[in-house]
Structure 1
Amino acid sequence: MIKAYAAFEPGGKLQPFEYDPGSLDDHEVEIAVEHCGICHSDLSMLHNDWGITQYPFVPGHEIIGTIAAKGAHVHNLSIGQRVGLGWHAGYCMTCHSCLSGDHNLCAQSESTIVGRHGGFSEAVRAKAASVVALPDNLDAQSAGPLFCGGITVFNPLVQYNIPPTAKVAVIGIGGLGHLALQFAKAWGCHVTAFTSSEDKQQEALSLGAHAVLNTKNPEELAAAANRFDLILATVNVKLDWNAYLATLRPKGRLHFLGVPLEPLDINVFPMIANQCDVSGSPVGSPATIATMLQFAEQHKIAPIVESFRMDQVNEALARLASGKAKYRIVLHNR
């Protein structure tokens, strides 16, 4: 039996919960959970905002732990090895996307917290192909958010071959945005932070931004016309997207990483005139995650985290929901 914390209804408090995971599949591993980050996606799933949550629901998909058991056909991981697990817990391994190395786009991928129990627990299971070894010099206590938030902001830099000479802007300096600033700066780009909070301006500069634009000041936004090659939108609220499109250079890209639930209100003519792109992307493949971890180790990139014990999970979720977390929250099994 695996001990965990589960909600039994939409938005419900998490309660102690035990479940029998059954026999270990030949291609699976069992991870003894040491640390697990909390992502806004966990809140969305808790409240069934996307209509796919199954109860009892055990959140948690930013998992750091050690291999406690492995199936007969698992040869790439060792017992006791420290690893991480993110949004995906398995792939079909036979579709065109998987065979092309784009496992994260597999239509039959298994999510760590959709239809299975996640990392707010003492252990979690996943297919070995979705589990990535943690580099020795990354801090295990804070690395969990890299497996969701970190790879989410790193993936577009790889997918779109962003050159180090690019001018990159980040909308929103929060759980995703504070990592996007660090990765884009280390990538070599000139980085601008868009923020509506004066309190975050100095911190944005310390995280890697070369400049900060106050989005409450329409004059600052207008003065940034024709400036950026890539804008990473990390917020989940509706904004004046046309104002941001106007700040793109020809062939620039407005790229969505946060998930605004309202439809996008975008004028097409400026996009056509400047040959701009509007796009989005999920987390990356296991290979891209491994590259991201190596890059983070080399450039000393780390999430800023607040820590809670696993049995404080409801307090931690309330902290995240309040919008006051700075900037990611990690639960620890002690």
Structure 2
Amino acid sequence: MRAMVLEEIGSPLVPVERLLPEPHAGEIRLRVEACAVCRTDLHVIDGELPRPKLPLVPGHEIVGIVEAVGAGVDEARIGRRVGVPWLGHTCGTCFYCRSNAENLCDEPQFTGYSRDGGFATHVVADEDYAFELDPGADPVSLAPLLCAGLISWRSLKRAGDGRKIGLYGFGAAAHIITQVCARQGRQVYAFTRAGDRSGQRFARDLGAVWAGGSDEAPPVLLDAAIIFAPVGALVPRALKAVRKGGRVVCGGIHMSDIPAMPYALLWGERELLSVANLTREDAREFLAIAGQAGVRTHTTAYRLSDANRAIADLRTGKLNGAAVLVP
């Protein structure tokens, strides 16, 4: 098998030839059809998330065909298309797992972080964290749903039932959840990098009722705002943009420091929340909703060997939508 491997933090990925991995009990092996590139991959590569498994194959938005199964796995899964997300395994016994909060598991495994991921031709996954996907759909289009879609869905649930939703950082996650919001009859207010006219047009084309820079105030007070950009300075701006009783949800796994801010921005029973990982129930809910809403992802495909270029394009904001590696 071929893989793009992170050998040292902060270094480019290296192409490596490896033996095919064998699935252990409860595991499956996939032939990877597509794997999207997520901003979390940048946080792993740059060392902003501590202690990754090294050497590491990144990638956690995986679409593939099951080609081998380990002991205890139904052989009927062979030949089926499945998706593998960030949360790759939970202990099942800690307080959080027993409290229907497996996203907060004390001993989790994460795909492309603590176990090898999908920047490769093949990957092994826990069968309980591999979700059935439409066999007739385009695998490149499906890949961003496995993280950008799932995290944006969990973030929207945390944002509550408000109708006016602000989205700060209009990348892969925002472009997906905007379509869901439009289907639900909500109004989306999109915030991009200052001066990013292309990104603002992209947001309006997907159904946003307003789009402007993250340094601008929206034309109305928002019921809730979701911050996808890893920029702590956006937190006080978003709090200022929501009404009394509104919510601000931080949807990323990493964010720069939040600056000191006056208590008045939080007062008025505004709420500041974060989203951590996802649950299997989130995945089942969202994949069904994405199909019902007719979500269409906007992607740029790259060869597996061009993974470093895809990462650079994501880092510099050259993409509208998501980068996807195709082995």
The answer to whether the 8 A contact 2:21-2:124 is kept is no
Instruction: Summarize the Cα distance change of 1:135–1:94 in structure 2 as closer, same or farther, 3 Å threshold.
Output: farther
Residue 35 in structure 1 maps to residue 30 in structure 2: no
* Residues in 2 aligned to 1:232 and 1:76: alpha-carbon distance in whole angstroms: 41
Query: 165, 178, 190: which is aligned to 1:193?
Result: 190
Report whether the alignment pairs 1:84 with 2:83. yes
Aligned partner (choices 145, 163, 170) of residue 173 of structure 1: 170
- Equivalence for 1:107: 106
Tell me, yes or no, if the aligned pair for 1:46 and 1:57 is still in contact at 8 Å: no
Deviation at 1:65, TM superposition (A): 0.1
Between 1:173-182 and 1:286-295, the stretch displaced more is: 173-182
The Cα of 1:237 is off from its aligned counterpart by: 2.1
Candidates 249, 253, 257, aligned match of 1:262? 257
> 1:42 offset after TM fit, Å?
1.1
Letter in 1 for 2:225: I
Task: Give the C-alpha shift of residue 153 in structure 1.
Answer: 0.7
After superposition, the Cα gap between the structure-2 partners of 1:206 and 1:266, relative to the gap in structure 1 and judged at 3 Å, is: same
Q: Structure 2 vs 1, CA of residues 104 and 241 (structure 1 numbering), >3 Å: closer, same or farther?
A: closer
Residue identity in the other structure for 2:242: L
Mapped partners of 1:316, 1:293: distance in 2: 25
**What is the Cα deviation at residue 249 of structure 1?**
1.9
Q: CA deviation at 1:184?
A: 2.0
Which residue matches 2:298? 304
Matches within 5 A, 1:30-69: 30-69=29-68
1:15 aligned partner: 14
**Corresponding residue SS for 1:288:** helix
Q: Which residue number in structure 1 is paired with residue 326 of structure 2?
A: 332
Q: 1:135·1:297 contact (CA, 8 Å) conserved in 2?
A: no
Contact 2:235–2:258, Cα closer than 8 Å, also in 1: no
Distance 1:88 1:19, change over 3 A: farther
The answer to which of 232-241 and 169-178 deviates more is 232-241
| Structure-2 residue corresponding to 1:25 | 24
Of 166, 179, 182 in structure 2, the residue corresponding to residue 182 of structure 1 is: 179
CA RMSD of aligned residues (A): 2.2
For 2:300 and 2:257, locate their aligned partners in 1 and report how far apart those are by CA, in whole Å: 30
Q: Secondary structure at the match of 2:155?
A: helix
Segments of 5+ residues of structure 1 without an aligned counterpart are none
Structure 1 residue aligned with 2:244, among 242, 250, 256?
250
Normalised to the residue count of structure 2, the TM-score between the two structures is 0.90
Checking the alignment, whether the CA contact within 8 Å between 2:214 and 2:234 is kept in structure 1 is no
How far off its partner does 1:108 sit?
Answer: 1.1
User: Which is further off, 87-96 or 227-236?
Assistant: 87-96
Task: Describe the superposition over 1:6-60 as per-residue Cα deviations: whole angstroms up to 9, x where unpaired.
Answer: 1322222222224457653211111111111111111221122223223222111
- Is 1:277 aligned with 2:271? yes
Check 1:22–1:313 CA distance in 2 against 1; reply closer, same or farther (3 A cut): closer
Measure, in 1, the Cα distance between the counterparts of 2:214 and 2:117.
Answer: 37
Tell me the TM-score normalized by structure 1: 0.89
The alpha-carbon distance between structure 1 residues 171 and 49, as it changes in their structure 2 partners (threshold 3 A), is: same
* Structure 1: distance between partners of 2:67 and 2:269: 51
